[in-house]
Amino acid sequence: MSETHAALRLLAVHAHPDDESSKGAPMMAKYLAEGHEVMVVSCTDGSRGDIQNPHILDAPHPRRDMAGARRLEMAAAREILGVDHRWLGFIDSGLPEGDPLPPLPWGSFATLPIDQASAPLVRLIREFRPHVVVAYDENGGYPHPDHIMAHRVAVEAFRAAGKDGAYPDAGEPWAPSKLYYDVSFNPDKVRRIHDALVSAGLTSPYADWIARASENDAEGHRPWTSRHRVTTHVQCAEYFEVRDRALLAHATQIDPDGWFFAVPLELRQREWPWEDYALIESAVGFPEEGTTEGDLFAGLR
């Protein structure tokens, strides 16, 4: 890569192993192919995940040691994606169910004080020195306790990493230039693909999502819809198949006949060849109102 197009660095913060493959994998593959550096952070070990793949419900390894099985899956996905990867080392909080909801397990990621949970990410930012950080929005992309905590930790670390005196034992300050939120659940994309499927006489997996996205929660919000304007469409359709292969590496979590593969690859590439992001904080400016950008490194190269 020439001096005028020097490699830049991007850090993607995720809650569990497999999230990096379902959210942002084509974008990361694109930037790696361009010669940039990409690191994925998994905040938790995924140990409280259930086996979601009906084809391996009786597999002995994940039934005995889910965290160990998911470490192996993450290693396989990392090889497919080509990213660098780090574990923050926290324990999966699980997804509580019931009415009322039970308390989260003591010591799990989502129960920790924010400074304790953020310290290792601050250290990692100061070591890797990313120009761009990609995180979840305030709702975690969807309202899982670990996703919401991953958002909080990413924002805290993004803001604190460049401050003298903040987290003094976590290395020399480094301030990333841009913070983006992932907008995988972009209503425009979902409706576009849904309509294309219906027009083609195919079953859409998005009908229930569209119905839920129109419902407000108790606070008047729509929990399955981002509150942030999409500012950035990254064209990466040629890397959608990388996402599919990386997802399949997470065999405990991904049904090869399930939701993630319900839309034909060619239709996805044709109808919405982008991945979508919202620029939240920037040291190099924002797109003008009513316009979008096509590059997470816009303003940096």
Q: Mark the binding-site residues for Zn(2+), compressed into ranges.
A: 16, 19, 147
Cα–Cα distance between 86 and 156 in angstroms, integer? 18
Nearest residue to 197 via CA among 263, 261, 266:
263
Binding site as annotated, residues: 16, 19, 147
Distance (Å, rounded) from C-alpha 228 to C-alpha 209? 18
28: its two tokens: 């990361």
The residues that bridge with 274 in the sheet, in sequence order, are: 235
Over its C-alpha atoms, the chain yields an Rg (Å, rounded) of 19
Which of 299, 297, 20 minimizes the C-alpha distance to 150? 20
- Go through the chain and tell me how many residues it has: 301
Tell the residue number behind the tokens 């972009």, with chain if given. 186
